[in-house]
A and B are shown apart, each in its own frame.
Chain A
Amino acid sequence: MTALPAKEQFDVIVVGAGPAGSAAALLSARAGLKVLLLERGEYPGAKNVSGAVFYGSAILNQLIPNWWEQAPVERYICRRDIAFMSPTTAVALDFRCAGSGYATAPYNGFSVLRPKFDRWLAAQAEAAGAFLLTSAVVDDVLWDDGRVVGVRVRREQGEIYGKVVIACDGVNSFLAKKAGLQREFHAHELSLGVKEVIGLDPAIIQDRFHLTGNEGIAFEYLGAITEDVHGGAFLYTNRDSLSLGVIGQVSSLVERRKRPYELLERFKAHPAVAPLVRGGKLREYSAHLIPESGWAMQPKLYTDGLLVAGDAAGFCLAAGLYLEGMNYAIQSGLAAAETAIAACRRGNFSARSLAVYRKHLKQRHVSTDFRAYRHAPSFVNGPRLQNLYPEMIARSMEQIFRVDGAPKRKILPLAYRMVRQSEIRPGQLLRDAYQVARAYLW
């Protein structure tokens, strides 16, 4: 190491061994680059939090064929449920696919436990030749002549130099801010996810959720569970546990003075959820921020000598139907690696040279997806779509099915009355319908 000129010990320094960082390190190392992967945790994934369903199976399969055979995956997700909730009712849309790509290789998604999964993925990067260093907290970027030339680890003689730094340090990226690429976030752009893992016998899970073998199901909940806090909830099946959690917008949590774990308790006590978790034993509790505003939160993605990927770059699609971040983390990590590889070949690490990152992100459908869904977050995460309408749907169904001797109402008058009671103006309703359509349909 001392033989190298002091300023270029590594070709690529990747900060953060989450999915973005490990993917970036893996691809760069495979291209023969000298890669350093720095992680602050005692091991990769030690404190990382997701739901977690990993929807990037096909992407990872290109990198590591049949990766699920060796990776610590829990269940393959071939059923998805979206439930609209009122305090006492739930109306669900149940999707089940036994078809190819869902229930067969390469599968659509797997539930995973992040501490195990991240550790495994980082080990793949190590096997490809990356140098992984844990217990290494990066606390600054090093500059030379207006360009990033390395990072400083919080240790004695912690300066370390590389040709390109890839910042994969997660939501609220310290590095992107240090490099002047990211502004401070507003509380309405961030959500707080609180999550529990509840141990349950695999046989009970199979019976309770009507699953066979290693099938798994993912539930997303919208509506009254988070009360007047903007947010939603999820419940995923693992091999012998359930992962469930509540996600609430930080600003509305603060405004309404709601504690996230209170919402989680309420969620678990909901009549549609309680029977699913009955008899389970709490295994772990965790909390983490989620960048919710997607497009609007994106930093400048590169500067001289530095690229930003994953949550650090705001590549997390959290918009009602979707809660996907790990797949985009991997895609953007790979795009950053492709950019770094090309820059190393050219020997040019200026911002202009790194600008091809945009092209690679497009090819990997990261920026295109986020552009397409750019209207979704601000609106979907608003109170009407996340809480009010789902609750109205649930309440309407309650009315439609009710038989109590009173005259049966047809659906339209019923809906009309529902809208009248909710104090939403019809014009508003139409505009919202248009927005939903624009957010998801075209």
Chain B
Amino acid sequence: MRIAVCLKYVPDPGTIEVDPLTGLIAADRLLYMLNPADESALELALRLRPPQGTVTVFNVGPVEADRLLQEALAAGADAAVRVWDSAISSTKPMITTILLAAALRAAELPDLVLCGGHSVDRGSGTVPALLAEHLGWPVVTEVTQFEMQPDELQSGRMRVQRRLARGARAESEVTLPAILGLETGLVHLRQASLPSLMRVKHTPIPLYGLEELGLSPQDLHFPAMTLHEVMPPRPRARVMFTPDCHRSAPERVAQILSAGVAGKAGQILDSGTPEQQADAIIDFLRQHGFLEKSP
């Protein structure tokens, strides 16, 4: 069984500093690390690897990422491939996955590809699905667990557990070759021994450029989804409970002390036209902050 793991080289969030003078991230103070979800993926691949199996790690990134691939080799990966070319101007998921798919093909297609589901820098979560599209393979995302019994290894099937919304889990089965997108923080990568760490220090990492991959810069240029902006979720303004100003002071105090309980008595709309009733409902919702107030 041949397993491929895609590793991304990401800035360590702990080292991100915004230069107070320029307002830009201080690039010379950034340290890079292996994306945490990819770290789990590598460890799980090493655990899954049967005696005759291999684990090959792939990365699309600049030469600095060799260090990370060397560390993967020290931890036990059998081979590593880095993809880079001076013509690569972006590591958008769309482009990265074209390159990864080509590299996987060039290195002889594996039986299983493991990816971290999300990266800590871009975090689009689209790489497993895009890769599946390029390879025409099935993909399972949000994977929390997977296993393969010896007989399943024969038949090329794999049992996979997925995380669903609100803590629900789904058990499913997928036919290989396939791609799994793994959740972050499932397991920690094993620590490399001193001898293997020293051995990999000067291990050269094979580099695939566009030519080796049979691609031209044109293949990386096409209208694709463009990310314009990422916005943080904006919480809805909370409406403070204010007592009814038409009431007397003691009543208002009582209203406040009731902490809104008394105010929830409700009102039955049994008169007026349906339009009026609808307006009353909308007014009510506006007043209580469920709808935005009209300008």
Contact = CB atoms under 8 A, between A and B. Distances in A.
Interface of A: 1, 42-43, 115-116, 131, 133, 136, 153, 155-160, 199-201, 240, 281-284
Interface stretch (B48-56, B107-115, B123-131, B190-198): B190-198
B251 interface: no
5 contacts: A1-B198, A43-B31, A115-B29, A155-B197, A199-B20
B195 A157 contact: yes
A131 B19 contact: no
Contacts of B199: 1
Contacts of B21: 199-201, 240, 281
Given A131-B198, A133-B198, A199 B193 contact: no
Given A199-B19, A281-B20, A281-B21, A157 B194 contact: yes
Nearest to B192: A155
Interface pairs A-B: 10 shortest CB-CB: A281-B20, A156-B193, A158-B194, A155-B194, A157-B193, A199-B20, A153-B194, A199-B21, A157-B195, A157-B194
Nearest to B191: A155
Interface of B: 17, 19-21, 28-29, 31, 191-195, 197-199, 201
Contacts of A155: 191-194, 197
A283 B31 contact: no
A415 to B, nearest CB: 46
A131 B192 contact: no
B17 A283 contact: yes
Nearest to A135: B197
Given A199-B21, A201-B21, A156 B198 contact: no
Contacts of A158: 193-194
A91 B35 CA distance: 54
Nearest to B20: A281
Nearest to A42: B31
Contacts of A133: 197-198, 201
A68 to B, nearest CB: 18
B197 to A, nearest CB: 7
A131 B193 contact: no
A133 B70 CA distance: 13
B9 to A, nearest CB: 14
Contacts of A153: 194
Contacts of A136: 194, 197
A153 B192 CA distance: 12
Given A42-B31, A131-B201, A133-B201, A160 B194 contact: yes
Contacts of B29: 115
B195 A1 contact: yes
Given A158-B194, A199-B21, 8 more contacts: A133-B198, A156-B192, A157-B194, A159-B194, A199-B19, A199-B20, A240-B21, A283-B20
A284 B194 CA distance: 33
A282 B29 CA distance: 15
B29 to A, nearest CB: 8
Contacts of A281: 20-21
Nearest to A240: B21
A284 B16 CA distance: 12
Nearest to B195: A157
A136 B195 CA distance: 12
A155 B198 CA distance: 12
Nearest to A156: B193
Contacts of B192: 155-156
A213 B287 CA distance: 63
Given A1-B199, A42-B31, A43-B31, A156 B194 contact: yes
A137 to B, nearest CB: 11
A334 to B, nearest CB: 25
Contacts of A283: 17, 20
Most buried by A among B191, B192, B194, B201: B194
A282 B19 CA distance: 10
A414 B19 CA distance: 50
A156 B191 contact: yes
A207 B9 CA distance: 42
A133 to B, nearest CB: 6
A287 B80 CA distance: 40
B6 to A, nearest CB: 23
A296 B28 CA distance: 40
A25 B29 CA distance: 25
Contacts of A116: 28
Most buried by B among A43, A136, A160, A283: A283
A284 B17 CA distance: 9
B199 to A, nearest CB: 7
